[in-house]
Structure 1
């Protein structure tokens, strides 16, 4: 009888683990989709005129380099994250969690999630969009995603520095593999795309640093908060900070305070706004499924499965902008080179090596 109970318990544990892995893998896929549609949105309507450096609207002069590089990145990140927050709040309303949402905002875990939003939103997400925009202008934004996926390796390093967490041999090996693959991708990008690729890779690395630091901080908050409420707090806070603080500051630096209503008004009046709503729709499960998966299969394995967006991101960008030609860019949109694809796949392997000990996995499988 006891043996039967233990067998049923193990089956239930494996089923629970499998569901967690499914959530974590789905989060990486959604991250790739969100990245693809975000990149697509910035090629449509007035956004295309802005990045092309031509007149826009009613004869407005072309934007300067600072505005194109930094201000538009903050605007795009803010629209995406705010839509993601709206979708997340809608999910909370559907599940009758709005009361819990407002109550959680006043708690310490809620404030931790707001801190995560500050780190991962105005800093990391804007850097990520800057990287995507720089790579789009110089050839292919897909090369940026694997660089940003270094957040797993950076998170492990920061955990060792800030919280004295041990780095076992397999984690060190995984970090080295990730860094080597990032160098491979960056080197191939620089060779094929020129100096502009360097700027994109630099900001992608800064995004990885921000998300890696966020991952260290988020552990406390995500354990004590329902993942749907947690993502609603994170995305709404990030979107508001990006649109109400980061965007106006950068717009004022680039073109004066009068540029704020002009750019925002043009952005929300273009059909591209619908695509931002779609990117925000995928950004919501990209983060919420990550939180859910981590709680079910463990943070390490969850981060590894989510980190597969190093592969999914370039794939969906290529499919949406290139193969499907949704934005009319296929003639000018090349796929990643074999070296870049190989580097992305190797990075996925490195992420898994950081998260789990391959030897222990083999031994456990043999025991089962």
Structure 2
């Protein structure tokens, strides 16, 4: 497996974790703090994706690729990217938010940590992404380590545990599908164009369809005109760089390996949160991180064909 791909993936995971911490901080500020647990994260996600669309539009304009977007949308790769945006954006995000509200964030993160395994199975079925026994052992270790680090018993009403777990599983399925769809499309589309399509699709779906349906459009407008917007701008920059790294990683290593490396974002998120809270990492976080690193190390020794370096990865 590409050492370069692992490096890119780990940097992306670090920034993805930073984005999660910044977004969580933003949700604790006005006007989000007084909004419902469904409306606040979705409004923040809409702003995040809207800013991401602007950043990627500027990058593609600078690189002279902006004109190619309409043409890409008419291709099979473009349709795959649209589907990936719907799976990873509205579907997975809404399911994840619902799970957090029903069983608490720590338990929701624990269940959704299975998304690399979901992606690996789907990649094996649809992309013929071959992973040997050593690689599967690495995937299992990485998922187990992430779950160990994040585990907490379900919070809230125990009657909602089954429903909350179901929504968390749907989120893991959505993110796993997203990785496979992007990996298939990345063979023919540059990472910057692919991410631009993703961000615009997710933004339009959430801002135009979902927010009006739940009466949260005003919340998003209030956030844009308040001081929390600066936090969201910073978070969106971390998000864009992390997602560019994710797409590049997919092109370098394929879906199974990339999703596993990126699962380390859970470790980074917990580490940032712990340190910013003035505490030292506990045994569960340290042991979970060690298990994740062992899993990635095992996966890196799986050199079976399946991770294809495509032309878009050179960009």
Per-residue CA deviation, residues 126-179 of structure 1 (Å, 9 max, x unaligned), is: 3344556778xx6xx567556434221111123345567666423443454356
1:91 to 59, 63, 73: 59
Q: Is 1:190 aligned to 2:153, yes or no?
A: yes
Deviation at 1:344, TM superposition (A): 4.6
Per-residue CA deviation, residues 296-335 of structure 1 (Å, 9 max, x unaligned), is: 3555544343232121122233345x24xxxxxxxxxx77
2:7 to 16, 22, 34: 22
Partner of 2:308: none
Q: Distance in 2 between matches of 1:183 and 1:285?
A: 25
Change (3 A) 1:126 1:356: same
Q: Distance in 1 between matches of 2:242 and 2:182?
A: 15
Q: Which moved more, 1:18-27 or 1:223-232?
A: 18-27
Q: Is 1:148 aligned to 2:133, yes or no?
A: no
Q: Which moved more, 1:209-218 or 1:153-162?
A: 153-162
Q: Tell which structure's C-alpha radius of gyration is larger.
A: 1
CA contact (8 A) 2:88 2:178 kept: yes
Q: Map residues 33-112 of structure 1 onto 2, 5 A cutoff.
A: 33-50=18-35, 68-112=36-80
Partner of 1:366: none
Q: Distance in 1 between matches of 2:157 and 2:287?
A: 22
CA contact (8 A) 1:34 1:279 kept: yes
Q: Map residues 1-368 of structure 1 onto 2, 5 A cutoff.
A: 17-50=2-35, 68-131=36-99, 141=105, 145=109, 147-160=111-124, 168-178=132-142, 180-181=144-145, 184-185=148-149, 188-190=151-153, 203-249=167-213, 251=214, 259-297=215-253, 299-320=255-276, 322-323=277-278, 337-350=282-295, 353=298, 355-357=299-301
CA contact (8 A) 1:301 1:352 kept: no
Q: Distance in 1 between matches of 2:217 and 2:303?
A: 57
CA contact (8 A) 1:39 1:132 kept: no
Deviation at 1:29, TM superposition (A): 1.2
Partner of 1:59: none
Per-residue CA deviation, residues 31-58 of structure 1 (Å, 9 max, x unaligned), is: 11111111111011121233xxxxxxxx
Query: How many matched pairs?
Result: 302
Computed over aligned residues only, the root mean square deviation of the Cα atoms, in angstroms, reads 3.4
Q: Distance in 2 between matches of 1:230 and 1:300?
A: 19
Change (3 A) 1:344 1:242: farther
Deviation at 1:293, TM superposition (A): 2.8
CA contact (8 A) 1:142 1:313 kept: no
Q: Give SS of 1:296's match.
A: helix
CA contact (8 A) 1:307 1:348 kept: no
Deviation at 1:228, TM superposition (A): 0.7
Partner of 2:313: none
Q: Distance in 2 between matches of 1:226 and 1:152?
A: 23
Deviation at 1:106, TM superposition (A): 2.6
Structure 1 unaligned blocks of 5 or more: 1-13, 51-67, 252-258, 324-333, 361-368
Deviation at 1:272, TM superposition (A): 1.4
Per-residue CA deviation, residues 279-306 of structure 1 (Å, 9 max, x unaligned), is: 1111111111121233335555443432
Q: Distance in 1 between matches of 2:116 and 2:63?
A: 31
